[in-house]
Amino acid sequence: MAPLLLAGLMFYFIINRLAQALLVMAVVSAISFSLFNFVGDPVNNMVGQDATREQRVEIRQQLGLDDPILVQYQRFMLNVAQGDFGLSYRIKQPVSQLILEKLPATLELVFASAVIAVFLGIVLGVFTGIRRYSWVSKTIMSVSLIGVSLPTFIIGIGLIYLFAVYLRWLPSSGRAGVIEIGGWKTSLLTIDGWRSIILPAITLSLFQLTMILRLVRAEMLEVMRSDYIKFAKARGLANRAIHFGHALRNTLVPVITIIGLNIGGLIAYSVITETVFQWPGTGLMFIQAVDFVDVPIMAAYLIFVALLFVVINLIVDILYFVVDPRIRRGGS
Amino acid sequence: MNFRKMAKLSSVALIMATAANAENVLKWTSQGDALTMDPHSQNESPTIAFNGQIYEALVARDIEMNLVPELAESWTASPDGWTFKLRKGVTFHDGADFTAEDVVFSFNRALEESSDYKEQVKTVSNIEVIDDYTVKLVTAGANPILPNTLTNVYMMDSGWAKANGVERPQDFAAEEETFSVRNSNGTGPFMLTSRAPEELSVLTRNKSWWGDAMYPGNVDRIEYRPIKNAATRVAALLSGEVDFVLDAPLQDLKRIEATEGLTTKTVAQVRSIFFGMDQSLDELRSSNVKGANPFRDIKVREAFNLAIDKDAIQRVVMDGLSFPTGIITPPGVLGNTPELDKQYGFDLDKAKSLMAEAGYSDGFEIQLDCPNNRYNNDEKICQAAVAMLAKIGVKVNLDAIPKAQHFPKIQKRVSDFYMLGWGVSTLDSHYVFTYLFDGEGSWNGIGYNNARVNEITKLIETETDIPKRTALIDEAWHIIKKDMPYLPIHHQVLGWSMKDNVDVPIAADDHLRPRYVVFK
């Protein structure tokens, strides 16, 4: 296929996917907006208990809370289209600024747990795949069940009591050692910062780690049975070269796909981890917004998460398009 | 203050923390951060408590909840208002003098449309400046309890507010946050050094505070870090990372007390928990009784009262940490007497016969609305009530939901039977009558409308003869005690937890007052 034609096809494909993505975003925002009706009434949280009924009515009118939900949605989307997410009901700060302030903490936490999940997941997966009958493997497999079966909340509290209260090695919560570099507040450049990120990062990574471990292990078992591995063994190649040079490489395609799709999940699921560890990211902000019925923050956060999933999916689609010729044919 | 500056300051603060060990640093935590640094924007308890370290009012409450001078040294009543003598030589944190002009400015600011303190100051019709250190708050008629309502109305510097464009509190429809949301300039014992909302706020001692020699506190710096999750909050105390936890769950207090080096304190909170029974309708919404409202029959209300065993709730649900009561205002509030405080008692047989007399020997069905994230063990109390009322044949369907959905039900008057708690910031029964019992009361969700109680509510607003006024309050409470419009359960208990090398005196309004905190 000529490069020019390929580029054209790719362009068409991306436009097509972007249109779909916009539709998804619109649907997500509409659904989430209609759900806010059931979360409760923010006005009661916004004024003191002494406020009169007239004052409450007045605030409802100011915020347009009595308008039909469609009218509220339209007003919200018009503002969003102009980049205005409004002010938080709770702390009266601009929502977009709040999300940008909280985002580095969440992204660093997600990054740290992704590194843990990928590194440990692959190493342990390869190990348990090769030495599947050793007692170490069996132990790893049993322990890894914890990662999928125990709720994040319990794991987090358990780690806090073990490492912060009992052993006193690490801080129980919070994000310490924050320094600012070029507008980005990071905690990854100080010892205190690393000490405070370890527990939440492990907590958040456990589920993904388990999944990657089991996937790699299954793929390894599959690949190790294949003819080319048998042939490699027959040729007398070193085990190391067989395991890592041939077997592992061929297991990685599905693993990479899963990792890609799960990064979005890590950000979305950081809500609970951040709450348990008082990690000052977007997830903690979202939970506080739900408690308060802080509609502007909830709406913006859900749209942000939807956008994240859409973008990640788009990237994965594009990668497929580049890698897999069959999709290219379907696209034309 | 921008973020870069803030980050710098907090790292400086951290370095200082490791360098100077002689400093007394109070590290503490509670569930929620202050919502704003603006003193007139949010009438919310944690925000009031936090800002009360930085800002001050004319009058304040001490640990025992007595009214004490703060920025005013003395005050006297007259038939048309109150005259306050201001403290001399007081300066704001930026060095400006505190004078009568700042009082006028602050009251006008609190009266603004966007202020959340309008109700506290609404009786003030004018402020006369008599001299630089004397002001008269003119009221439309005598107001015997005005000082009681001013303890949370903080004083701002008019010059600072004008220079920073914050002459009015921010309103909800605003486009941008205003300067006073993150910055402060008060006269109080502590100054805001750095603030990252929901993360860390650092306050340092104001060396030129007027009360330095008068109060025992020896805290040099306060580091406040909110922790939303209760288990994590307790862990931070157990691991020694914080010195003080304001709101550990009540069920954890015993374990904390048993831990070496830690101690707890409890006190009766100024908040009563009760059930409301809607008597306004001819027919309840959720009941199977048609054509009549059983709650309109005092026999039914009394039967409900007698069927709920408040001592059992205290023992089983509250772990002993509550004070069962027969009046929905706690000790310490003017109007509560030991006689009124006595609960109605528990008498199942009498309750059953009252139900039979009322014509409901087979009971009836009704929905109980209950919050599940507002009061101590709120949902469990409701569950206990469901089981207890079943014994007199009443089938209660419990709807326990988050407070953000629960309170609007009461506000919109759509609940037949609900749980509510009421705190009394003024420590005067008027605050209870005007919201809960007055026919027009904004939280009177039961439609109680007794002509004499309404009249007394009005009378005590202007009655300056204290014994006479107290007698009126007592009269109203006796009418209420007889009418049983609400079903009182108990007064809540507060539990504070701390290391035993620091003495944090507990206050019934749940506000930390660092000026009394002493490191031993």
pLDDT, block means (10 residues), chain A with 332 residues:
70 84 85 79 83 84 84 86 85 88 93 92 90 89 85 92 94 90 87 94 92 90 86 85 79 76 81 94 92 89 86 78 62 43
Q: What is the pLDDT of residues B252-306, one digit of tens each?
A: 999 999 999 999 999 999 999 999 999 999 999 999 999 999 999 999 999 999 9
Cβ <8 Å between B228 and A288? yes
Query: By CA distance, what is B36's nearest residue in A?
Result: A91
User: Looking at the domain A3-39+83-329, which fold is it?
Assistant: MetI-like fold (1.10.3720)
DSSP helix/strand/coil, A232: helix
Per-residue pLDDT averaged across B446-473, rounded?
95
- Is residue A306 within 8 A of residue A29, CB to CB? The reply is yes
Cβ <8 Å between A180 and B4? yes
pTM: predicted TM-score of the whole model, two decimal places: 0.86
Helices A95-130 and A191-224, packing angle to 10 deg: 40
Q: Nearest C-alpha of chain B: how many angstroms from A266?
A: 20
DSSP helix/strand/coil, A6: helix
Selected residue of A53, A173, A189, A277 to mutate for chain B interface (largest B Cβ count, 10 A): A173
Cβ <8 Å between A164 and B181? no
Using an 8 Å CB-CB cutoff, list chain B residues near A39.
Answer: 404-405
Residues 6+ apart with CB under 8 A from B458: none
Cβ <8 Å between A280 and B231? no
pLDDT at A329: 60
Q: Kindly report which listed range (A46-60, B107-121, B142-156) carries the lowest average pLDDT score.
A: A46-60
pLDDT at A275: 94
The pLDDT of residue B12 is above 60: no
Q: Identify the band that residue B1 occupies on the pLDDT scale cut at 50, 70 and 90.
A: very low
CA–CA gap between residue B163 and residue B94 (Å, rounded):
12
Identify the CA nearest to B137 among candidates B103, B169, B109, B168. Answer: B103
Query: By CA distance, what is A84's nearest residue in B?
Result: B175
Using an 8 Å CB-CB cutoff, list chain A residues near B420.
Answer: none
Q: Nearest C-alpha of chain A: how many angstroms from B262?
A: 14
Cβ <8 Å between B116 and A51? yes
- Considering only residues B173 and B494, tell me which one the structure prediction assigns the higher pLDDT: B494
DSSP string, A43-104: HHHHS-TT--HHHHHHHHHHHTTTS-HHHHHHHHHHHHHTT---B-TTT-SBHHHHHHHHHH
Query: By CA distance, what is A186's nearest residue in B?
Result: B7
Q: Identify the band that residue B388 occupies on the pLDDT scale cut at 50, 70 and 90.
A: very high
Q: Nearest C-alpha of chain B: how many angstroms from A272?
A: 10
Cβ <8 Å between A173 and B227? yes
Identify the CA nearest to B100 among candidates B77, B72, B79. Answer: B72
Using an 8 Å CB-CB cutoff, list chain B residues near A63.
Answer: 172-173
Cβ <8 Å between A94 and B172? no
Helices B466-483 and B451-462, packing angle to 10 deg: 160
Identify the CA nearest to A207 among candidates A104, A120, A282. Answer: A120
Q: Nearest C-alpha of chain B: how many angstroms from A125?
A: 33
Q: What is the pLDDT of residues B321-342, one digit of tens each?
A: 999 999 999 999 999 999 999 9
Query: By CA distance, what is B229's nearest residue in A?
Result: A276
Q: What is the pLDDT of residues B159-184, one digit of tens each?
A: 999 999 999 998 766 667 889 988 99
Cβ <8 Å between B41 and A92? yes
Residues 6+ apart with CB under 8 A from A129: A216, A217, A218, A219, A220, A221, A224
Q: Kindly report which listed range (B137-146, B233-242, B454-463) carries the lowest average pLDDT score.
A: B137-146
Using an 8 Å CB-CB cutoff, list chain A residues near B241.
Answer: 164, 171-172
Q: Nearest C-alpha of chain B: how many angstroms from A150?
A: 17
Domain extents for chain A? 3-39+83-329
Q: Which of A94, A180, A275 sits opposite B3 (nearest CB)?
A: A180
Using an 8 Å CB-CB cutoff, list chain A residues near B232.
Answer: 157, 160, 172-173, 276-278
Cβ <8 Å between A91 and B35? yes
Length of chain B (residues): 520
DSSP helix/strand/coil, A217: helix
High-pLDDT (> 70) share of chain B, %: 95
Residues 6+ apart with CB under 8 A from A227: none
Query: By CA distance, what is A39's nearest residue in B?
Result: B405
Q: Nearest C-alpha of chain B: how many angstroms from A307?
A: 25
Interface pTM, i.e. ipTM? 0.85
pLDDT at B420: 96
Q: Nearest C-alpha of chain B: how many angstroms from A104?
A: 14
Q: Which of B4, B43, B181 sits opposite A92 (nearest CB)?
A: B181
Q: Nearest C-alpha of chain B: how many angstroms from A328?
A: 47
CA–CA gap between residue A318 and residue A310 (Å, rounded):
12
CA–CA gap between residue A144 and residue A122 (Å, rounded):
13
Q: Which of B170, B177, B232 sits opposite A278 (nearest CB)?
A: B232
Query: Bridge-partner residues for B72, per DSSP?
Result: B86
Residues 6+ apart with CB under 8 A from A98: A88, A91, A285, A297
Tokens of A75: 């007003």
How many residue contacts between A and B have a Cβ separation below 8 Å? Answer: 150
Selected residue of B198, B234, B270 to mutate for chain A interface (largest A Cβ count, 10 A): B198
CB atoms within 10 A of CB B141: 12
CA–CA gap between residue B462 and residue B476 (Å, rounded):
16
Cβ <8 Å between A92 and B177? yes
pLDDT at A332: 41
Query: By CA distance, what is B225's nearest residue in A?
Result: A174
pLDDT at A7: 76
Cβ <8 Å between A42 and B227? no
Selected residue of A53, A63, A172, A286 to mutate for chain B interface (largest B Cβ count, 10 A): A172
Tokens of B501: 């090398």
Please give the DSSP secondary-structure letter assigned to residue B171: P
Using an 8 Å CB-CB cutoff, list chain A residues near B436.
Answer: none
pLDDT at A253: 72
